[in-house]
Structure 1
Amino acid sequence: MRVAVVGIDGTGKTTVLHRMRERGDVVVVHAIRAHDDPDSPYATLSRALAGASAAADALGRVQLKLAVLYLQLCLYGPAERQVWREGRILVSDRHPLIDPLAYLPMFARAEREDAPGADVEAWWRGQEPQDARAIRDWLVARTGSADPWPLGTDFLAQATKPPQDVLDYLRRSFGVSLPNAVVLLDLPVEDALARTRSRESRSELHETADLLSLTRQHYDAVLGWLSRTCPEVSVHRVDCRGRTAAEVTEAVRAVVASEGKSGARR
């Protein structure tokens, strides 16, 4: 069984899933930050990609940010298949078929220039040399090209397409299927933003009140569409307002347990 936990930044996904992993009754896979998985064979590459994402943020180039996101999401499929072969319950922090549906329209609204100028080379220089080599190799392996700009541009272009077309693109790109259930952690934007701003790391391109509000709306729209068009996927919402991490963890654990019982009856 596969359950995806989604929501805007600051809702506590990573904290909740860390607590669930500590219990040992589920396997947790991070769709974007594979290095948050202690046993991930892709941890080194994932850390390099996190640095590349920060370099894209520093330059403010959406196309580079999305090229990195694509390469990060490519790491999810192999991890999911390994857990699937072991027959264990997988709970993911985000999902490569769901989160892009919510985030791509938000990135499409960001101010951007369509020509890379000198920023691609600046982006490469903004990374550690060994990290840049690993990312270049991964980029070539996934796309056949060492140029990230066309990849980011193509990914961004999906934002204007109907959801089913985007979903088909994501399936082809990442080689995964929809999870059995999706749990949305919901939190008011002002609370989520306060949490993200308290982090030591630099804010990402999309971590503003307006963009987080837009993304929250997109999650509602995407999960509503998913419920109508893919009824085999159960959609749940957990209200995180005023609740501790322990309380939210128990709410998510209850959903996973309920889905497990439902799957056993099917």
Structure 2
Amino acid sequence: MRVAVVGIDGSGKTTVLRRAAERDGFAVVHAVRGHDDPNSPFAGLSRALAGASAAADAVGRIQLKVAVLFLQLCLYGPGERHAAHRSAIVLADRHPLVDPLVYLPLFGHLARNDEPGSDVAAWWHEQEPDAARAVRAWLEARTGHTDPWTLGEELLRLGTRPPEEMLDRLTHRFGVTPPHGVLLLDLPVQQALRRTGERLRDSELHETAAFLTAARQRYESVLDWLTRTHPDLTGQRIDCSGLSVDEVADRVRDAVGALAAVRGPAARLPTTRPSGGSG
């Protein structure tokens, strides 16, 4: 059984899922930052892509940011299959068929309708040489070319299409199917901003109050649309305001347990905790 845990930046997804993996024995796959999973066989490429994402933030062009996001999400399918060998239940920190429905339409409003100029060259220059070579090879493998700007423009155009068309095309591009459940970790924007402000890494292009407010609203509408149009998909909103990591992890476990009970024995919860886990 596959369950996506989604929400705006700062809502606590990564921390809560780390606790769920340690305490409850769930397998976790990180859709954007695969190297956050110490068991990931794709950690090296994921780190290179994280550097490319930071370079896009430094250059300040959303076309490059979106292109890198696509390349990061292309690692999700292999990561999910790898995680499925460790547990009957796989939790995803973001999902390539859910989060783009939220972000691609919003990113389109940040794009300038002009030419890249020297920004693509500057983006490559911002990356470490070995990492840039890995990113270039992955870009060519996934698209057949090495032009990130063209990829970014294509994805921004996709964000203007109806959600069903977006979902169909992303399903084909990523080679994955929708999750069985989607859990939306909901947190007020000001609390999320305080958390993102405490991160060691630099802020990303979209970590602003206005953007996170719009993203929070989009998550609600996307979750509603998915559950209305895809009866096999279960969605649930979890209010995280004022809750500790353990309390949110408890709610995630309860929601996953309820979904597993509906889906039958093949989706049962882990019965033992992994050795060395906390809690």
Q: Quick check: 2:77–2:174 contact (8 Å CA) kept in 1? A: yes
In structure 2, distance between residues paired with 1:193 and 1:253: 26
SS at match of 1:160: coil
The whole-number CA distance in structure 2 between the counterparts of 1:85 and 1:194 is 37
Q: How does 1:178-257 map to 2 (within 5 A)?
A: 178-257=178-257
| Conserved 8 A contact 2:27-2:84 | no
Q: How does 1:87-106 map to 2 (within 5 A)?
A: 88-106=88-106
| 2:8 equivalent in structure 1 | 8
TM-score when normalising by structure 1 = 0.97
Question: Which residue of 1 is the match for residue 139 of structure 2?
Answer: 139
Deviation at 1:158, TM superposition (A): 1.1
Cα drift, residue 111 of structure 1: 4.5
Amino acid at match of 1:102: V
**1:114 Cα offset (Å):** 3.1
CA distance in 1, matches of 2:217, 2:109: 14
2: CA distance, partners of 1:237 / 1:24:
21
In structure 2, the CA distance between the partners of 1:9 and 1:152, relative to structure 1 (3 Å rule), is: same
Deviation at 1:87, TM superposition (A): 5.8
The 5 Å alignment of 1:1-266 reads: 1-23=1-23, 25-84=25-84, 88-264=88-264
Deviations 1:132-172 (A, max 9, x none): 00001101111110111111111111111000000011101
8 Å CA contact 2:29, 2:76 repeated in 1: yes
**TM-score, with length taken from structure 2:** 0.93
- CA offset at residue 113 of structure 1? 3.9
3-state DSSP class of the match of 2:57?
helix
SS in 1 for 2:38: coil
Aligned-pair RMSD on alpha carbons? Answer: 1.3
Q: Deviations over 1:183-238 (max 9, x none)?
A: 00001111111110111211101100000000011111111111110011000111
CA distance in 2, matches of 1:124, 1:83: 32
Question: Aligned equivalents of 1:182 and 1:90: distance in 2?
Answer: 12
Return the offset for 1:85: 5.3
**Identity over aligned residues, as a percent?**
58
**TM-superposed deviation, 1:262:** 0.9
- Please list every run of 5 or more consecutive structure 2 residues that lacks an aligned counterpart in the other structure: 267-279
2:56 maps to amino acid: A
Supply the AA of the counterpart residue of 1:260.
A
Summarize the Cα distance change of 1:63–1:111 in structure 2 as closer, same or farther, 3 Å threshold: closer
Return the alpha-carbon distance in structure 2 between the equivalents of residues 86 and 108 of structure 1.
38
